[in-house]
Amino acid sequence: MSEQRMSTKCIHAGYTPGNGEPRNIPIIQSTTFRYATGEQMGALFDLEASGYFYTRLQNPTNDHVAAKICALEGGSAAMLTSSGQAASFYAIFNIVSCGEHVVCSSSIYGGTYNLFAVTMKRMGIHFTFVDPDCSEEELEAAFRPETRAVFGETIANPALTVLDIEKFAKAAHAHGVPLIVDNTFATPVNCRPFEWGADIVTHSTTKYMDGHANAVGGAIVDSGKFDWNAHADKFPGLTTPDESYHGVTYTQRFGLEGAYITKATVQLMRDLGAIPAPQNCYYLNIGLETLPLRMKQHCANALAVAKFLKDHPKVSWVRYPGLEGDPYHERAMKYMPNGTCGVVSFGVKGGREAASRFMAGLELASIATHVADAKTCTLHPASTTHRQMTDEELAAAGVSPDLVRLSVGIEDAQDILEDVERALDRV
């Protein structure tokens, strides 16, 4: 059979039932797996045979869903984690140790920023944050001899900047390190970072992939293309024996295709344990089946909302990469010609007060600390997540007091537009 297309993979990839087996991915809600002899289980521990023995390391339900996400991204291996935060942490910590360094786009999710700049700093891992639109020279200047990875988001949450993946990949590879891209907002339906030179992709599956606000989760996918052996001195964790795992050398035993994810599974998941529940992976899989349909509707609805806002007299500015005239429109058309995401941000004339009144006037859209699910929801950072900050502090954080973030759902576009129009009338 020839390579399947995206919508087909979203339904079928990762799981092919045999004769008389369940058509749906079964939920294997079991921590343990039975073996007849101790020798059989011993071979599993030595990574000599493959098989399941304890769900903290691997579980069949989780693995089927990971294999689907791997196929969607066009990777060589993948694993699921209990949250997007865990995915970001594992993706870096798998190859970066105390005393080493990462170059990172400054336009990233706030939770990721905190993980990197505060928590991982306490572990001795240092990050240099660069403007995603910096020149090649400025990007070059951020590297150090101890740099081990580069990190960015395809479409940043909530800034909605679009990463120039090729520019960041080129810089990373010139320094012999991989580019890791958080592809949460675009999803593989709209962008496949590996095709532009990224080496590893992460996801908060909590967002569009699950799509229904059912289950928090994360994923890490490896392209299998980064040559760890060519830069063996930088990545001893992959290229020299792991004494904590019977002296296995990951690149030798599992090849470039499997080394990175195997290490993250048998070492990080073993020791840190951020495994998702099989039940949650089952929900995630249901979401994945309709991802292409939903992304199409999210993007169409968001574009309609962005166009409406752009022409509205009470709106001072609109940011949506899918909108012509947006500073990131051209780059979005290059990397995501079929659509970007469903999140739009805009300013209400009259600042903090007016934005607050706009929110209160919404009826269909709910006020929620979430983005990227089926239901339209909205957040006014200045009166919620950032409410303790003064207008000056907000500006420094890149959040203007009038900023409203609207996560456009998959309801009928007309109903969403009427809700937004009514709320603006009430300002």
Ligand X SMILES: *Cc1c(COP(=O)(O)O)cnc(C)c1O
By CB under 6 A, the residues from 93 to 112 that bind ligand X are: 109, 111-112
**Whose CA is closest to 152, among 96, 199, 120?**
199
Among residues 71, 77, 104, 216, the one that binds ligand X under rule CB under 6 A: 216
- Please report the DSSP string for 143-171 in residue order: --TTEEEEEEESB-TTT--B--HHHHHHH
Q: Which two tokens stand for residue 51?
A: 């098989």
User: Could you say whether residue 55 binds ligand X (CB under 6 A)?
Assistant: no
Q: Which two tokens stand for residue 416?
A: 């969403």
Q: How far is the CB of 201 from ligand X (least distance, A)?
A: 12
Q: How far is the CB of 129 from ligand X (least distance, A)?
A: 15
Q: How far is the CB of 141 from ligand X (least distance, A)?
A: 26
By CB under 6 A, the residues from 1 to 30 that bind ligand X are: none
User: Could you say whether residue 157 binds ligand X (CB under 6 A)?
Assistant: yes
Q: Is the peptide bond before 321 cis (omega within 30 degrees of 0)?
A: no
Q: How far is the CB of 384 from ligand X (least distance, A)?
A: 16
Kindly tell me which of 178 and 218 has the beta carbon lying closer to ligand X.
218
Kindly tell me which of 248 and 403 has the beta carbon lying closer to ligand X.
403
User: Could you say whether residue 218 binds ligand X (CB under 6 A)?
Assistant: yes
Q: How far is the CB of 164 from ligand X (least distance, A)?
A: 17
Among residues 126, 167, 175, 207, the one that binds ligand X under rule CB under 6 A: 207
Distances (CA, A) of 3 to 8, 15, 67, 76, 225: 10, 16, 15, 15, 19
User: Could you say whether residue 183 binds ligand X (CB under 6 A)?
Assistant: no
Among residues 206, 297, 345, 356, the one that binds ligand X under rule CB under 6 A: 206
Q: How far is the CB of 24 from ligand X (least distance, A)?
A: 24
Kindly tell me which of 157 and 356 has the beta carbon lying closer to ligand X.
157
Q: In what order do the strands lie in the sheet with 218-222?
A: 77-81, 218-222, 200-204, 179-182, 147-153, 101-105, 126-130
Q: How far is the CB of 328 from ligand X (least distance, A)?
A: 16
* Per-residue binding letters, 65-84, with ligand X (x by CB under 6 A): ------------------xx
**Cα torsion angle, 250, 142, 74, 120, sign:** positive
Among residues 55, 59, 62, 85, the one that binds ligand X under rule CB under 6 A: 85
According to DSSP, the β-strands at 343-348 and 403-407 are: antiparallel
C-alpha 92/C-alpha 181 separation (Å) is 11
C-alpha 351/C-alpha 400 separation (Å) is 8
- Ranked by CB distance to ligand X, the top (closest) residue is 84
C-alpha 401/C-alpha 232 separation (Å) is 48
- Please report the DSSP string for 271-306 in residue order: HH--PPPHHHHHHHHHHHHTHHHHHHHHHHHHHHHH
Residue with tokens 């200047």: 141
Q: How far is the CB of 71 from ligand X (least distance, A)?
A: 21
Among residues 63, 164, 182, 222, the one that binds ligand X under rule CB under 6 A: 182
Kindly tell me which of 28 and 155 has the beta carbon lying closer to ligand X.
155
DSSP letter for 220, please: E
The region of 48-56, 66-74, 177-185, 271-279 touching ligand X under the rule CB under 6 A is 177-185
Q: How far is the CB of 84 from ligand X (least distance, A)?
A: 2
C-alpha 419/C-alpha 296 separation (Å) is 21
The region of 160-168, 181-189, 299-307, 384-392 touching ligand X under the rule CB under 6 A is 181-189
Q: Give how many residues touch ligand X by CB under 6 A.
A: 17
Q: How far is the CB of 330 from ligand X (least distance, A)?
A: 22
32 within 8 A of 53, measured Cβ to Cβ: yes
Residue with tokens 């990469």: 321
Kindly tell me which of 83 and 105 has the beta carbon lying closer to ligand X.
83
Kindly tell me which of 73 and 153 has the beta carbon lying closer to ligand X.
153
76 within 8 A of 257, measured Cβ to Cβ: yes
Interface residues with ligand X (CB under 6 A)? 83-85, 88, 109, 111-112, 153, 157, 182, 184-185, 204, 206-207, 216, 218
